[in-house]
Structure 1
Amino acid sequence: MTHRKTLAASILALAAATNAASADTWRYAFEEAMDEVQGIFAQKFKEEVEANSDHTVQLFPFGTLGESADIMEQAQSGILQFVDQSPGFTGALIPEAQVFFVPYLLPQDEEQLATFFEESEAINEMFPPLYEEQGLKLLTMFPEGEVMMTTQEPVTSPEDLNEVKFRVMTNPLLVESYQAFGATPTPLPWGEVYGGLQTGIIQGQENPAFFIESTKMYEVTEHITRTGHNNFTTAVMANLDFFEGLPEEEQTMIQDAIDVAFDHIIDYQEGLTEESLEKIKEAKPSITITTLSEEERQPFMETADEVEQEFLEIGGDQAEAILEQMKEDLEAVASSSGS
């Protein structure tokens, strides 16, 4: 860890000496490995930028420059030009972003979900000014996959989570959500999760199937439960001063590259969840993978109102307006798809 931090500091010292707005090399950090969803998105973005400009994009996967809080700080200070980070970690900066942790708010249908992220007025018009207040240009948000619980004991109801120390991101509303589910939420940096499960410091965590598979979380867990309560959301941002300092044609080129990468990552995820679960089952035949029935989900769904009320209290000045607009956006998507 010390060596890694020293290396990161050296990289950042070199980067800080460069004028970000005029740099030929743009730096982009994200919270996952190169072959995980955020990494696939970043590679497509890099490909598009380099094909349509003289710039190169240097990618920094998880751990290269520290934890999530570190890369956000680096993006805000201009050391990084781009950062991909879940609202789970930006909740302290932008309380309204915690809306993505209200359980059972987002649809489970992947096509509806993709359309929502593309067309949502809340995402595309209401969130950008909130990010700008933090020195960030919001370029896009996209879904990463159905969130699933991994635990040591089976889960078929909230009672099964009683006294289970469940790792959550450092996000107040996610803490509230798992308290409502009956668990004992335990905020923990991602780098400590595998060891925490291995030693029993925590007994559960949540993530999309591809991440559970690629990080081998299944090695230190016995049960995967699909409660249908959420889909992992992430946001790609640029340093605001850097972005606004670019010529208009370069700003357009960046947004075009983001749009291509968005379409690419939606296509890439088709069938990814089931494929990842199959790989997990193959690697560990003893693991159980359970999809809760509508009846079994009902007690979890009944906690949504409680968490929603908490969001309205802690979600910032725009919490109510954003929640209502998101509901309108989701209803519009459901109606247009005939659901």
Structure 2
Amino acid sequence: MTHTTRPAFRLATASLTALILGSGAAMADTWRYAFEEALDEVQGVFAQKFKEEVEANSDHEVQLFPFGTLGESDNILEQTQSGILQFVNQSPGFTGALIPEAQVFFVPYLLPEDDDQLFAFFRNSEAINTIFPELYAQQGLELLTMYPEGEVMVTSDRPIAAPADFNDVKVRVMTNPLLVESYRAFGATPTPLPWGEVYGGLQTGIVDAQENPAFFIESTRMYEVQDHITRLGHNNFTTALMANQDFFAGLSEEDQQVIRDATQAAFDHIIEYQQGLTEASLEAITAAKPSITVTTLTEEERAPFRDTAERVEATFLEIGGPRAQEVLDQMKADLDAAAN
């Protein structure tokens, strides 16, 4: 009997040791975080600050996956929903089909151009802090924050000064129904295209134009295959940091707080980082390609574009999901509060 119990005892001891070591290892996990941009672009700068804060205030490690390392935007969202990734930073432009209410961010001329008002809105918005977390939770996602990335500008192979200039212009858009409607209302031919195909598409004429913040136009060198940049003043690029909901719910309160604190620190950091970024990027673009034109439309020139907002807003209420009216009303109340 002693010959049979001793190996069993050793096996039990080894199992217990493995369990203890395993639980210790689980307490210091590696968390995987993917985003839609390069490491030195806005989402990458945000992610690096988040990683720095988490690792400084816990035993956990954050592994970052910039754009392209794990596929396109829809791939990293699916990987987060399935639990392969713990965090994903993604624009509502790509979650719009999944969370139709998030398309509200593509109603043109809804967000303010003034930076102070814009940042106050993102900090204090009831829609962002209360309504959207409930909507994201229905898709297995814990919404940690939303933040702006910069004024959206249109690059094109022809000058744009009026809606008529968009006639027959194929504008690359994200796969978002309301963004498609927005450019259709402007008079363009919206053409959904994965980001990885955009530069080549502009080069070969599959698309004639696209929209993005100035830093992204600079870093991706899209100005090389476009001749004009137009500031319509119609939007600011919005993005969101999310966690897999089961993962987040399974964490200790201490770890959840580490994540919330890291998110807040990264938010504050990225707001500060963006000060002057747009103008610096435009200067770098014009230095690299002196022939490019950068045109800021006057209020008079913007008026016919601004007039399309009502039509796009009506479309949002039709396709924006069961809480579309509530979201839009709360957004407008939040924006009014930010302006006062």
**TM bucket normalised to smaller:** over 0.9
Measure the CA separation in 1 of the matches of 2:26 and 2:190: 41
| Stretches of 4+ aligned residues off by more than 2 angstroms | 18-23
State the identity %. 75
Q: Could you tell me how far 1:21 is from its partner in structure 2?
A: 7.6
- Give 3-state SS (helix, strand or coil) of 1:246's partner: coil
Measure the CA separation in 1 of the matches of 2:91 and 2:310: 23
Residue 325 of structure 1, aligned match among 312, 330, 334 = 330
Q: Could you tell me how far 1:242 is from its partner in structure 2?
A: 0.2
The reply to whether residue 109 of structure 1 matches residue 128 of structure 2 is no
The reply to whether residue 255 of structure 1 matches residue 260 of structure 2 is yes
Q: Normalising to structure 2: TM-score of the pair?
A: 0.92
The reply to whether residue 246 of structure 1 matches residue 251 of structure 2 is yes
Measure the CA separation in 1 of the matches of 2:337 and 2:77: 33
Residue 235 of structure 1, aligned match among 216, 223, 240 = 240
The reply to whether residue 71 of structure 1 matches residue 89 of structure 2 is no
- Give 3-state SS (helix, strand or coil) of 1:92's partner: coil
- Give 3-state SS (helix, strand or coil) of 1:266's partner: helix
Note the 1:156-305 alignment, pairs <5 A: 156-305=161-310
Measure the CA separation in 2 of the matches of 1:166 and 1:127: 29
Structure 1 residue aligned with 2:312: 307
Unmatched tracts of structure 2, length 5 or more: 1-21
Contact 1:208 1:232 in 2 (8 A): yes
Contact 1:21 1:242 in 2 (8 A): no
Relative to structure 2, which stretch is displaced further, 214-223 or 106-115? Answer: 106-115
Contact 1:29 1:83 in 2 (8 A): yes
Contact 1:21 1:246 in 2 (8 A): no
AA partner of residue 160 (structure 1)? D
Structure 1 residue aligned with 2:138: 133
Q: Could you tell me how far 1:55 is from its partner in structure 2?
A: 0.2
AA partner of residue 288 (structure 1)? T
- Give 3-state SS (helix, strand or coil) of 2:104's partner: helix
Measure the CA separation in 2 of the matches of 1:69 and 1:23: 29
- Give 3-state SS (helix, strand or coil) of 2:158's partner: coil
Q: Could you tell me how far 1:111 is from its partner in structure 2?
A: 1.3
Q: Could you tell me how far 1:58 is from its partner in structure 2?
A: 0.1
| Structure ID, larger Rg | 2
Structure 2 residue aligned with 1:9: none
Structure 1 residue aligned with 2:94: 89
- Give 3-state SS (helix, strand or coil) of 1:139's partner: strand
Structure 2 residue aligned with 1:15: none
- Deviation digits for residues 121-151 of structure 1, max 9, x if unmatched? 0000000010000000000000000000000
Measure the CA separation in 1 of the matches of 2:182 and 2:313: 9
Measure the CA separation in 1 of the matches of 2:121 and 2:246: 29
Relative to structure 2, which stretch is displaced further, 110-119 or 177-186? Answer: 110-119
Measure the CA separation in 2 of the matches of 1:332 and 1:276: 31
AA partner of residue 224 (structure 2)? E
Contact 1:89 1:170 in 2 (8 A): yes
Contact 2:152 2:212 in 1 (8 A): yes
Unmatched tracts of structure 1, length 5 or more: 1-17
Q: Normalising to structure 1: TM-score of the pair?
A: 0.93
Structure 2 residue aligned with 1:54: 59
**Would the alpha carbon gap of residues 198 and 116 (structure 1) be closer, same or farther in structure 2, given more than 3 Å must change?**
same
- Give 3-state SS (helix, strand or coil) of 1:316's partner: coil
- Give 3-state SS (helix, strand or coil) of 2:119's partner: helix
Structure 1 residue aligned with 2:49: 44
- Deviation digits for residues 295-318 of structure 1, max 9, x if unmatched? 000000000000000000000001
Measure the CA separation in 2 of the matches of 1:50 and 1:21: 15
Measure the CA separation in 2 of the matches of 1:181 and 1:325: 26
Measure the CA separation in 2 of the matches of 1:330 and 1:186: 30
- Give 3-state SS (helix, strand or coil) of 2:241's partner: strand
